[in-house]
């Protein structure tokens, strides 16, 4: 078996707040250095050699995934203006096609288009974008914006062909198929918003790749003439732009992790300067949408003026200064996290969380009075999906669970009637009755009750320890909600339990759940995960030689911390694009995302107490001379969110200090934060990771 690559030790000294640190592997940060690229290539070769025995299992899992997917398929058409829009996939093609067919006036029943019909052969079908054609000749491809002008004639779309999340935007005339002579707008954020059919609004980024400004482009002019409409100088704020569903207003939002401010432009005056709705106030967040309530144009405002889990109010369109000016619709209630509201001409849809589950409620517009939509399963995910039209008399929503494939439903708000439009096909005779999902509650060391979701085959013998994959994230108030996965069946059908530890720092249990797992409370995220692992072992659900752990990005930091604190609970740990060197990154304000992340992790650059707190848990800083389980780190060279250097340094130091392993690094050389692109490449990557996890858990 080949020897593991050894990164040269080239000490770099760091001094902050009188703390001296020597970092032997910081030299790996220079991605232009041929020695760095050679090191990553050697690591890839080593990982391939060390996992060669899994080649057969990888191919088996890949074949299973592909056999279960209906490769030639069609999404449910979505009505916008005079057209029905949908996406096609075709067997053998890595990417899809964006298409449309004409709509009849007043028709809200989506057309039935046979998926097996060759693209372009359906009567009236127009292919807007062929993504395989756009991706040709490139190792990576991602579509950003894909926005059709209100008159239906122009398509603004953007593409990223490296994985660094910087997009080039073009405008296509859908009547002729030709691109407009406007020059390509290069290196921008992914979105594009039409105001009328003559102006496009988009975002540019600063030197740290932070979306910091909104620009206006007039169709038919050189982008050199584009006008900067809004600029945010505060490096802790990101800027976003979009229109209301009514298309009456353009909303520009600038926000940090804990503070926000919104501005508006009347779509009838696209060249007007934006007007502030309410000036920012540290710690205060609000979002607005346009609704017509009782015949009056109003902002519906989701806000935390009265409590951390947010409330809903409204005021006339314009500015407001005092929260007391808002008409209250839903008062703050601890543990019920109001997430937002979707506004339509005839109804309103509220999204909120309660009891660890995201929920939906519906109201008319004459009197705001929400009634929750009920669902049969205990663990599910539901949310509005595919509703661009303001005047739509129906509501489209998506539904999924651990055992129910993704569904698209249509609801008539006037009658309450629900119609299933499509369920994700699963080939090979899938029966949801063969699987069961349950929720478990685990008490953490400080008394907090942590929800845990589990899914497994119904016929699994739970009277003995079983192979188990424990997944965790726990950051940014982002929840890990129940969802179906075709690929996951390859784990479940081999007798593995899939479990999610909904640890603090995530958003499952409201804003206070996030607050209890960020900044100088971050250790709760790690100890919650360990408490869940210990509970599953104590209950006999699994055992240390049968349990593996996985997390990605910020969840990769969780994996690194758990490896240091409780590696003996696991037979293997996988960390995907892992944020395992957070202290170094947070000490570099010039890096992408650093300053905006200080609200999440704390600011060790200026605050010595935060420095010491992060230094005490940062995975890279705290590798011990102790036994560690086998670890697989997966990263991407072009990732701008979590730089490849973090897992590269981590693995190098693990090999130097820790016992056990092996410690493996796999770097995708043409990908970004989301990994490889193209569905077949993604399935192969999943098969590689699943084969490793199954073998480590003894389920292969």
At residue 429 the predicted structure's pLDDT band, cuts being 50, 70 and 90, is: very high
Residue % of the chain over a pLDDT of 90 = 96
pLDDT at 1 over 80: no
Bridge partner residues of 500 (DSSP): 453, 471
Residue 658 has pLDDT above 70, yes or no: yes
> How far apart (Å, rounded) are the C-alpha atoms in residues 304 and 283?
9
State the Cα angle at 13 between 11 and 16, rounded to 5°: 155
What does the pLDDT read at residue 548? 98
Query: Each residue of 604-646: pLDDT tens digit?
Result: 999 999 999 999 999 999 999 999 999 999 999 998 899 999 9
Average pLDDT over residues 485-498: 98
Q: Give yes or no: 17 in active site.
A: no
Number of Cβ within a 10 Å radius of residue 549: 31
Mean pLDDT, rounded, for 267-281? 97
How confident is the model over 52-63, as a mean pLDDT?
98
**Nearest 10 degrees: CA dihedral of 142, 144, 146, 147?**
180
Q: Residue 508 and residue 523: Cα distance in Å, rounded?
A: 18
Q: Is 673 annotated as catalytic? A: yes
**pLDDT score of 700 more than 90:** no
Hey, what domains does the chain have and what are their CATH numbers? 31-67+429-581+618-696 (3.40.50.1820), 317-425 (no CATH)
pTM for this predicted structure? 0.97
**Annotated catalytic residue 262:** no
- Mean pLDDT, all residues of the chain: 96
Question: CB–CB of 508/451 below 8 Å?
Answer: yes
434-487 residue pLDDT tens = 999 999 999 999 999 999 999 999 999 999 999 999 999 999 999 999 999 999
What is the per-residue pLDDT across 660-699, written as a single tens digit (0 to 9) for each?
999 999 999 998 999 999 999 999 999 999 999 999 999 9
pLDDT of residue 583: 97
| H or E segment to which residue 581 belongs | none
Lowest mean pLDDT among 259-268, 274-283, 545-554, 670-679: 670-679
Would you place residue 520 in the very low, low, confident or very high pLDDT band (cuts 50, 70, 90)? very high
Catalytic residue among 130, 160, 182, 639: 639
Model confidence band, residue 399 (pLDDT cutoffs 50, 70, 90): very high
**Integer Rg of the chain from CA:** 26
Q: Give the up-direction half-sphere exposure of residue 641: CA atoms within 13 A in the CB hemisphere.
A: 18
Active-site option among 39, 290, 303, 673: 673
Q: Which of 213, 490, 553, 585 is catalytic?
A: 553
pLDDT tens digits for range 472-484: 999 999 999 999 9
């Amino acid at each position: 078996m080949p020897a593991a690559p050894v990164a040269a030790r080239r000490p770099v000294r760091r001094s902050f707040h009188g703390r001296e640190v020597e970092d032997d592997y910081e030299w790996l940060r220079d991605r232009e250095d041929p020695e760095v690229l050679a090191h990553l290539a050697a690591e890839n070769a080593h990982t391939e050699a060390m996992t060669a025995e899994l080649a057969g299992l990888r191919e088996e899992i890949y074949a299973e995934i592909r056999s279960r997917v209906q490769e030639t398929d069609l999404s449910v058409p979505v009505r916008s203006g005079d057209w029905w829009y949908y996406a096609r996939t075709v067997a053998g093609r890595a990417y899809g096609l964006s298409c449309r067919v004409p709509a009849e006036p007043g028709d809200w029943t989506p057309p039935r288009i046979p998926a097996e019909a060759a693209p372009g052969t359906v009567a009236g079908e127009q292919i807007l974008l062929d993504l395989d054609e756009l991706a040709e000749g490139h190792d990576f491809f991602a579509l950003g914006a894909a926005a059709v002008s209100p008159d239906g004639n122009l398509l603004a779309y953007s593409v990223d062909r490296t994985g660094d999340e910087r997009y080039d935007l073009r405008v296509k005339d859908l009547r002729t198929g030709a691109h407009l002579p406007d020059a390509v707008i290069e290196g921008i954020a992914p979105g594009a918003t039409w105001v009328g059919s003559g102006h496009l609004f988009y975002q540019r980024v600063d030197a740290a790749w932070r979306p910091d400004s909104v620009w206006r482009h007039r169709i038919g002019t050189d982008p050199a003439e584009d006008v900067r409409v809004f600029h945010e100088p505060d490096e802790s704020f990101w800027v976003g732009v979009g229109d209301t569903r009514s298309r009456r207003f353009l909303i520009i939002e600038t926000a940090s992790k804990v503070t926000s401010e919104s501005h508006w432009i009347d779509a009838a005056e696209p060249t007007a300067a934006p007007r502030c709705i309410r000036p920012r106030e540290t710690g205060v967040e609000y979002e607005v949408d346009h609704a017509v309530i009782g015949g009056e144009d109003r902002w519906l405002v989701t806000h935390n003026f009265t409590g951390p889990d947010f409330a809903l109010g409204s005021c006339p369109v314009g500015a407001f200064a005092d929260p007391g000016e808002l008409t209250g619709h839903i008062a703050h209630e601890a543990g019920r996290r109001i997430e937002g509201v979707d506004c339509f001409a005839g109804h309103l849809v509220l999204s909120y969380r309660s009891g660890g589950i995201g929920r939906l409620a519906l109201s008319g517009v004459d009197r705001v009075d929400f009634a929750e939509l009920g669902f049969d399963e205990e663990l599910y995910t539901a949310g509005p999906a595919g509703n661009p039209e303001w005047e739509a008399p129906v509501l489209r929503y998506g539904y999924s669970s651990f055992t129910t494939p993704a569904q698209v439903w249509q609801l008539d708000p006037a009658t309450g009637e629900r119609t299933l439009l499509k369920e994700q096909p699963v080939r090979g005779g899938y029966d949801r009755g063969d699987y069961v999902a349950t929720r478990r509650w685990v008490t953490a060391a400080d008394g907090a009750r942590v929800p845990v979701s589990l899914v497994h085959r119904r016929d699994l013998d739970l009277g003995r320890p079983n192979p188990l994959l424990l997944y965790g994230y726990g950051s940014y108030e982002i929840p890990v909600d129940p969802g179906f996965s075709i690929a996951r069946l390859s784990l479940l059908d081999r007798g593995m339990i899939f479990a999610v530890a909904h640890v603090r720092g995530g958003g499952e249990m409201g804003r206070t759940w996030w607050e209890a797992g960020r900044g100088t409370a971050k250790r709760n995220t790690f100890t919650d995960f360990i408490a869940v692992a210990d509970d599953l072992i104590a209950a006999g659900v699994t055992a240390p030689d049968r349990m593996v752990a996985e997390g990605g990005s910020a969840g990769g930091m969780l994996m690194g911390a758990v490896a240091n604190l409780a590696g003996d609970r696991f037979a293997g740990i996988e960390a995907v694009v892992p944020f395992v060197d957070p202290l170094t990154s947070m000490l570099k304000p010039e890096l992408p995302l650093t300053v905006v992340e200080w609200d999440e992790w704390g600011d060790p650059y200026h605050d010595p107490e935060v420095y010491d707190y992060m230094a005490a848990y940062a995975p890279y800083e705290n590798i011990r001379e102790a036994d560690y389980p086998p670890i697989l780190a997966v990263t991407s060279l072009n990732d701008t969110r979590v730089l490849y250097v973090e897992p590269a340094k981590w693995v190098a130091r693990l090999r130097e200090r820790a016992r056990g392993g092996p410690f493996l690094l796999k770097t995708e050389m043409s990908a970004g934060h989301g990994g490889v692109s193209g569905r077949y490449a993604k399935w192969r990557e999943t098969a590689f990771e699943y084969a490793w996890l199954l073998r480590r858990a003894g389920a292969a």
